[in-house]
Structure 1
Amino acid sequence: MALLGAALLFGAADMWLGVVQSYGAQAITMGRLWALISVRSMNLVEALITRHLWSPIWDLGIWPILVAPAWSFFAVLGFLFFVFGRPPVSER
């Protein structure tokens, strides 16, 4: 439920930025959130994956997640946890 709440808040923030501050406003993406938290760790992970592991892992797996809107990432993750984290009907 916390992830769904975060998705709702990020969606509201995207709408606010889109409507009120339309000139020069950047979308809130997962890559932007990660950069706000730690650019250094993002660069380290990118270098590690592209140089020492298989480069298409970054290009096809991680990069699409980083350019996705933050609300969509949290909504999908929250929905998956909500659906698959519920106890079976017999245990209720």
Structure 2
Amino acid sequence: MTDFPLLDANYAAANAEVGREVVADLGVIEPRIDETDSWITLPMRLVYDQAGGLHIELGPYAIDQRDIPKLREAIRQYDLANQGGPGLRRVQ
């Protein structure tokens, strides 16, 4: 387990009301919060429910089909930057 505080939601109501089911447990990430100079633990899950369909949960946050392409692009840019490849542009 982690040494950092867990940030998550109580999904008991969603489990019952909208048939929330965890399709896959994807581990945890430990992002840093600049404002508090601290880290937290966010569990990652692939989830399906009747209200939102298939989505990714990062702790209490749901990322659905509208945001997946943006997240994918952010990771692509991160990978490019780590490779020192073309298209790397530092934002000032």
- Which TM-score band applies after superposition, normalised by the shorter structure? under 0.3
**Which protein has the bigger helix share?**
1
Bigger RCO of structures 1 and 2 (CA < 8 A, at least 6 apart): 1
TM-score w.r.t. the length of structure 1 is: 0.27
TM-score w.r.t. the length of structure 2 is: 0.27
**Which protein has the bigger strand share?**
2
